[in-house]
Structure 1
Amino acid sequence: MKPNPPPDNSQLPPSVLELQVKLSNIQNAITEEEFSALKDFQRIANYMSAAMIYLRKNTLLEKPLNRDDIKYRLLGHWGTGPGLVLIYSHLNLLIRKNDLNMFLVTGPGHGAPAILSSLWIEDSLSPFYKDLTRTKEGLGKLVAGFSTPGGFPSHVSAGVPGSIHEGGELGYALGVAFGAVMDNPDLIVTCIVGDGEAETGPTATAWHGYKYLDPAESGAVLPILHCNGFKISERTIFGTMDNREIVSLFSGYGYQCCIVEDLDHLDHQLAAALQWSLAEIRRIQHAARSGKPIVKPRWPMIVLRTPKGMTGPKSLDGQPIEGSFKSHQVPLADPQHSQEQFDLLKNWLESYKPSEFFDQGSAMLKTIDKHLIPQDPSKRMGQRKETYDTYYPINLPDWKEYGRQKGEQASETKTAGRFLLDVFRNNPKTTRLWSPDELTSNKLDAVLEFQGRDFQWDPESRANGGRVATLSRGRTGLFPSYESFLGIVHTMMVQYAKFCKMAKEIPWRKDIGSLNYIETSTWTRQEHNGFSHQNPSFIGAVLNLKAKFARVYLPPDANCMISTVAHCLTSKNYVNLIVSSKHETPVWLSPDEAAEHCKRGASIWKFACTNGGADPDVVLVGIGTELTFEVLAATSMLHDMCPDIRIRVCNVTDLMIMGAHGSHPHALQDEKFEELFTADKPVLFNYHGYALELRGLLFDRHNMDRVHIEGYQEEGTTTTPLAMLVLNKVSRYHVAKFALSRGRKSNPKVDAVADKLIQEIDKKVDDFWKYINENGKDPDGVFDKPKFLNL
């Protein structure tokens, strides 16, 4: 495959030419000393990047290279590295010359060799890893340890100083960068977006991030699209676009676009582009902070065009390497056995003259220090406090003051919204709520009474300090969503959990605010939505995380909901999922009772049991708001139809207690489990999600043959609420039939009437279908509080 030809700009129309920034006075952008220091930085870092992939010893080539010096497994990505090094070296210069608070988010996460090399040069590894000093020995350990057991992995991970996201999965860097600068007015985050990553859906959306960033109160993101033309085995979309097309696209997004592509003057042009970008950021921020914000400001961005894998091998077997996809990972894949590849590798590594790096008392490093590296270590990108100590504690009001009276009807999310309103009032700069569209629908819109949406392109929302945004990081926040839409962010949630896991294993990383999801508008209440909006699978996605970092809560009423929200807002290092209802349902527990219930994670609801739940014929368990209601409705039905049946009613609000003891920090010991659900009586779990999820949690519990689980069965359409429950066999009718069919085995009085009562229940179901088909709605009163309950 041939390298990309130079872009043809001859046909750029005047309107687009005006939007493409033309830099002036480029030759004066850097001094000769700065230029020399930049080239030294790039030379050392590019060598180290290549050496990390290939060398296990002789890391400065102080002896002639031989095959025994080469690693047995060649792992890493070379192609993106030289561009990352180029940018990193210049950002150091920009920080030093302008005394900036800045760090870097690296979209091409597999460019770890380039980032680690740059961190080593600026001496940002040794403060965190005492053996990775800026010495021959430190360099040797870094190079030899890369992508080996105990060393750094091949991508930018939590173990890399200066990183704030798990870099192994493409797509999330730009969104993370925007979140990092919210409420950090003095911070600039430069985000490198590879042209392969730029093709992903999350990145395509994240380009709009500035539309949610108030320059009066937040910092700035400087995106750099690194356009080297190729991904792992073909050209990139952006690599095939000429400047006219790229400028038109990003102008439409709302950016001023500066293209850096003059390979003969690359350092001077990039230095000028970065200084121009900083001036534009300051201009926009100054206007906003002076009370005269620019309407729809055009923020700066840079498009950097460089050959993929520049400074590496040029060709092999008549095929180009530099400037093609063949440089993407390991450009010379078998130097151990191929003499041609060994010779190319030897010449490539020797071209950087690594033996000179420590000559004359490390003169090269001292020159870099003198002209590039910020003198204050806390200003270096690898040592920014914002990258490893981001948690901001919050001041919560007493949630019980927002509680509802036992026995009344209340919406869980609406009640939580009133509580969150005062959370935002108490913490105006350390909390955020992420909700692009569904806030009112999900009945959390009370928060808008304090501050509105943070949507800078909306005339009604602009420059009002809104707390409702779509992106954030380092703050305490909530992400409410329709249940069916959370799958869209599944992998981003997983990456956050992976970062949390790795961060907890690293001594120098501090706590991270939990990622809190509220899943509502669920399949159990379909209103105007149909089958497409029925998908509780996000529960399973969280259950599959490392147990230490996953929490799933299904509060059964409004008081349990606000208790759970308050708990999650103060938690750290978790992914919390709260499955809730936005519709009015009975309040089963007082605030004090709710607090105790949520603390335990589950309890016997004696107010709904017969004989206080003692010696039951059957145990009925609700997990989820509507599913719990159906258990109680079934109990009420049986109270009238079969007063001799002995029923224990339980509710589970913390799903993780169900796992076998030792499988999760919250998992109940067996004796506690049996206190709730008995050791040998039939149990029905009426569960909001997929039955297999709960079955997996219960797998190692004793005597599971007695357990029956019902959950969502992928049945439904736009229909009535009770019909949805009937279709999925979790309705009161199905619960009551289970109780009769299983309770008869231990209770002769129930056995004597069970067949007749089951027939009566089947008749109720038939009558129900007839009624809704004729009337288009559920019968009146089906969701009223069951009358027998003494609340």
Structure 2
Amino acid sequence: MRDAARFADALWRAVTYVSVAQLHLNSNPLSPDLLVPEQVKPHPAGHWGTVPGTAFALSHAAIGSLGGSVEIMPILGAGHAGVVQIAMAWLTGELAAIRPQFSPDADGLSRLVRSFPDVGGLGAEVSPLLPAGSYLGGQLGGALAFAQGMALDIPDRVVMPILGDGECETPTTAASWLAAQALPGPCPVLPLVHVNGYRMGGRSQLGRMDDAGLCAYADALGWKPAVVRVDAAGHDEHQEFHRALQAAAAATAAGTRTVIFLRCVKGWSGPSEVSGRPVLNSPNAHKTPITDPRHRPEQFAALTAWLSSYRPAELFNTDGTPREMLADALNLIRRDTPPRVVRPRVSRARSVSLQDGRSFSEAVTTVLRRHAATGDLRVFSPDEMGSNRLGELVDEPWVSEILAEEVLLGWLAGWTATGRRGLLISYEAFAPLLTTGLVQLLKQRRLINGSSPSRPSLNLLLTSYGWNNVYTHGDPSLITALLATGEPAVRVLTPADPGRLAAAVDDALCSTGKLNVILAGKHTVTNRPMETIDEELERGLAVWPHLSDLDEPDLTLVIVGDLPAAVISKAVPEIRRRNGTRVRVVAVHDLTVLGQPSRWPAGLSTEESDRYFGSATPLLIVTLGHPAAVWGLIENRLRRPVEVIGWHEPERPMSQREMAETMGMDVAGVCAAAERLQAVRT
């Protein structure tokens, strides 16, 4: 495109200028030559170092989509780039679309700089409510995997994650380069690595490499590299980068894994030093380098010179509207850039047969094959499908395996962000690796639920828990951590047998807006009577009549999972025989029913608790996970004696039988707990 370099230059200067203004100003954002100290923030705070390179990449992504053969969809990897995202969204009017007070004019810009870093409740970090914010960057390192999941099987656009060179040192990003080879089908992802040489605390590892080293690194991992150096933002630099971006996007769309390394100096276009402290090309450029411009004249002078260097009078009219080249660029972007498309969510009814779950393997395989037939399902697993009795699915084109849980979570999140359904299958012991990423995704979903409530749920199936794999493979802490967030979107599904597992997987894949974590043992083959399955699915629990006495119980036993179901089924006759106790057995299908109804959508009211558990009846809860997770849900509000049997970290390796005996997860342990509760009641 003939004017691409001039459009990109105007857009880059405008985005960078508005970013610097947000970081430093309280008012008068369009006339730096008329600034007075009182119009500057008393304590400027934020992140500057990533701004110029990120603004350069975003500007060229917008311009690169014009007149090109493919749409380029940028994703910001670094949360600290939020100031750039906000600046771009203010210029295009997309910020005003969700926060009308920040209109794209002088008044709106004045309100924006005064509001930063709050920005109308959006905050200063990357937001999923604005363009390029599909990946929430609070967890550094996941943007490349997220982009891969988002781009998978969508060949009509190129997804461009913008990564920092420090970000590439994270395990998730490092693994994602290699993991791309495990993804079948088209996956048009064009990573742009912003190599400015420094992390917050020192030199980055990629920044230490010369161009030949960067190329060798990319080549060895199966990516075709292009290195573009930008030490200024002149016409030639814009032209060179525009050509490189167009070529790389075309190669990516054609199936060649391509990466662009954008080399620039840390903090370029900003002050070289402030108050005698070096800034340019140093870690001192990472955060806002000018810290006290109100009271230090030399810093105030440096700030006004810095702002003036972007020549804002060429970019904006006095009323804050864009002029000349910037106006033309923004008009083209607004006119020619297609809207961000999320595939429509098709409502699906549950469709599980009672014959679907004769074993763990049959339950999962049957349901997944049925859902895969619609063409919008993908399953991700860390090389454990065979071990999880699901080996017959390994060669399915909709199954991907790689030994990196964090990458798998990125793929799942990116895939579902486009309106498609997915499931991550892993061992319970490995799942805590996903805690930070899942909490970040919950934060993201919390923000977007108002605009995208029908986004498919994030679904995890956790198998092989510690009760079977003992010492090294026992860690139920993911569930404990997720429940501790109090996030209403979380559901912990604990099916008691394979038939109920089939129903749980089907229900999770048909749901929207949730984080469903399903716990199920891969060895389970015993099925229980299914007459209460509808109530368990709809209400999250049910009384099991085949194990319960008809009268008001003396003791209620609560099953949370398949192993507790097996143990309690064996213990009930013994409890009756020993004490003549009237027993009620309640199976919990969704663990959050035990939580406060004011916080958890499925939480039982006081009246429901009495109806299911009995009025003031002692309660013995047997769970697969930490007792602390259950105690955190019930919060001493059941007004009755309660005891919880669950997982405690074993002091040493021991057999399954010894561990069950030690933790009370056997018939003798359940009977002993029942007697303790009866003693308390009497």
Residue 722 (structure 1) aligned with residue 665 (structure 2): no
Residue 310 (structure 1) aligned with residue 268 (structure 2): yes
Q: Secondary structure at the match of 2:129?
A: coil
Q: Which amino acid aligns with 1:734?
A: G
User: Take 1:470 and 1:44, find their aligned partners in 2: how far apart are those partners?
Assistant: 32
Residue 42 of structure 1: aligned partner: 12
Q: CA deviation at 1:446?
A: 4.6
Q: CA deviation at 1:737?
A: 1.5
Note if contact 2:620-2:643 (Cα within 8 Å) is conserved in structure 1.
yes
Residues 81-480 of structure 1 correspond to what in structure 2 (within 5 A)? 81-148=51-118, 150-215=120-185, 218-261=186-229, 263=231, 265-284=236-255, 298-359=256-317, 365-370=323-328, 374=332, 377=335, 379=337, 383-385=339-341, 389-390=342-343, 392-393=345-346, 395=348, 398-400=351-353, 402-404=355-357, 410-425=358-373, 427-428=374-375, 430-448=376-394, 451=397, 453-454=399-400, 472-473=415-416, 474=418, 475-480=420-425
CA 203–92 in structure 1, closer or farther in 2 if over 3 Å, else same:
same
Q: Secondary structure at the match of 1:152?
A: coil
Residue 642 of structure 1: aligned partner: 578
> Number of matched residues?
669
Note if contact 1:122-1:369 (Cα within 8 Å) is conserved in structure 2.
no
Residue 68 (structure 1) aligned with residue 38 (structure 2): yes
Residue 521 (structure 1) aligned with residue 464 (structure 2): yes
CA 362–67 in structure 1, closer or farther in 2 if over 3 Å, else same:
closer
Q: Which amino acid aligns with 1:536?
A: P
Q: CA deviation at 1:366?
A: 4.0
User: Take 1:349 and 1:546, find their aligned partners in 2: how far apart are those partners?
Assistant: 44
User: Take 1:177 and 1:110, find their aligned partners in 2: how far apart are those partners?
Assistant: 18
CA 447–227 in structure 1, closer or farther in 2 if over 3 Å, else same:
same
Q: CA deviation at 1:396?
A: 5.8
User: Take 2:555 and 2:242, find their aligned partners in 1: how far apart are those partners?
Assistant: 74
User: Take 1:722 and 1:378, find their aligned partners in 2: how far apart are those partners?
Assistant: 66
Q: Secondary structure at the match of 2:216?
A: helix
CA 208–123 in structure 1, closer or farther in 2 if over 3 Å, else same:
farther
Q: Give aligned-pair identity as a percent.
A: 26
Q: CA deviation at 1:718?
A: 5.7
CA deviations 1:155-212 (Å, max 9, x no partner) are: 1112323421212221111111111111212021111110111111111111124313
User: Take 2:491 and 2:533, find their aligned partners in 1: how far apart are those partners?
Assistant: 18
User: Take 1:433 and 1:496, find their aligned partners in 2: how far apart are those partners?
Assistant: 18
Q: CA deviation at 1:134?
A: 2.9
Q: CA deviation at 1:521?
A: 0.7
CA 350–372 in structure 1, closer or farther in 2 if over 3 Å, else same:
closer
CA 658–37 in structure 1, closer or farther in 2 if over 3 Å, else same:
same
Note if contact 1:716-1:727 (Cα within 8 Å) is conserved in structure 2.
no
User: Take 1:111 and 1:631, find their aligned partners in 2: how far apart are those partners?
Assistant: 53
More displaced 10-residue stretch of structure 1: 152-161 or 82-91: 152-161
Residue 560 of structure 1: aligned partner: 500
User: Take 1:262 and 1:701, find their aligned partners in 2: how far apart are those partners?
Assistant: 62
CA 541–71 in structure 1, closer or farther in 2 if over 3 Å, else same:
same
CA 394–479 in structure 1, closer or farther in 2 if over 3 Å, else same:
farther
Q: Secondary structure at the match of 1:709?
A: strand
Question: Could you tell me which of 462, 480, 485 is aligned with 1:540?
Answer: 480
Q: CA deviation at 1:276?
A: 2.0
Q: CA deviation at 1:390?
A: 4.7
Q: CA deviation at 1:228?
A: 0.5
Note if contact 1:417-1:443 (Cα within 8 Å) is conserved in structure 2.
no
Residue 601 of structure 1: aligned partner: 540
Q: CA deviation at 1:440?
A: 2.1
CA 510–355 in structure 1, closer or farther in 2 if over 3 Å, else same:
farther
Q: Secondary structure at the match of 2:191?
A: strand
Note if contact 1:396-1:423 (Cα within 8 Å) is conserved in structure 2.
no
Residues 760-779 of structure 1 correspond to what in structure 2 (within 5 A)? none
User: Take 2:135 and 2:170, find their aligned partners in 1: how far apart are those partners?
Assistant: 17
Residue 406 of structure 2: aligned partner: none
Note if contact 1:395-1:423 (Cα within 8 Å) is conserved in structure 2.
no
User: Take 1:646 and 1:401, find their aligned partners in 2: how far apart are those partners?
Assistant: 30
Note if contact 1:112-1:155 (Cα within 8 Å) is conserved in structure 2.
yes
Residue 665 (structure 1) aligned with residue 594 (structure 2): no
CA 402–372 in structure 1, closer or farther in 2 if over 3 Å, else same:
farther
Note if contact 2:442-2:487 (Cα within 8 Å) is conserved in structure 1.
no
Note if contact 1:393-1:570 (Cα within 8 Å) is conserved in structure 2.
no
Q: Secondary structure at the match of 2:161?
A: strand
Residue 568 of structure 2: aligned partner: 631
CA 190–369 in structure 1, closer or farther in 2 if over 3 Å, else same:
farther
Note if contact 1:40-1:364 (Cα within 8 Å) is conserved in structure 2.
no
CA 469–209 in structure 1, closer or farther in 2 if over 3 Å, else same:
farther
User: Take 2:521 and 2:356, find their aligned partners in 1: how far apart are those partners?
Assistant: 16
Q: Which amino acid aligns with 1:562?
A: A
Q: CA deviation at 1:309?
A: 1.1
CA deviations 1:477-521 (Å, max 9, x no partner) are: 11111000111111111111100101124xx44532211111111
What TM-score, normalized by structure 1, do the two folds share? Answer: 0.79
User: Take 1:374 and 1:677, find their aligned partners in 2: how far apart are those partners?
Assistant: 64
CA deviations 1:336-381 (Å, max 9, x no partner) are: 222221221122122223234334998964423545764564625x
Residues 629-708 of structure 1 correspond to what in structure 2 (within 5 A)? 629-639=566-576, 641-642=577-578, 644-704=580-640, 706-708=641-643
User: Take 1:362 and 1:54, find their aligned partners in 2: how far apart are those partners?
Assistant: 18
Note if contact 2:193-2:260 (Cα within 8 Å) is conserved in structure 1.
yes
Q: Which amino acid aligns with 1:598?
A: L
CA 373–283 in structure 1, closer or farther in 2 if over 3 Å, else same:
farther
Give the gaps of 5 or more residues in structure 1. Answer: 1-29, 285-297, 405-409, 457-467, 748-791
Residue 407 of structure 2: aligned partner: none
Greater Cα radius of gyration, structure 1 or 2:
1
Q: Secondary structure at the match of 2:190?
A: strand
Q: Which amino acid aligns with 1:604?
A: V
User: Take 1:661 and 1:282, find their aligned partners in 2: how far apart are those partners?
Assistant: 49
Q: Which amino acid aligns with 1:701?
A: R
Note if contact 2:44-2:291 (Cα within 8 Å) is conserved in structure 1.
yes
Residue 757 of structure 1: aligned partner: none
Give the gaps of 5 or more residues in structure 2. Answer: 403-410
Q: Which amino acid aligns with 1:261?
A: R
Q: CA deviation at 1:552?
A: 0.9
Residue 489 (structure 1) aligned with residue 437 (structure 2): no
More displaced 10-residue stretch of structure 1: 42-51 or 411-420: 411-420
CA 140–238 in structure 1, closer or farther in 2 if over 3 Å, else same:
same
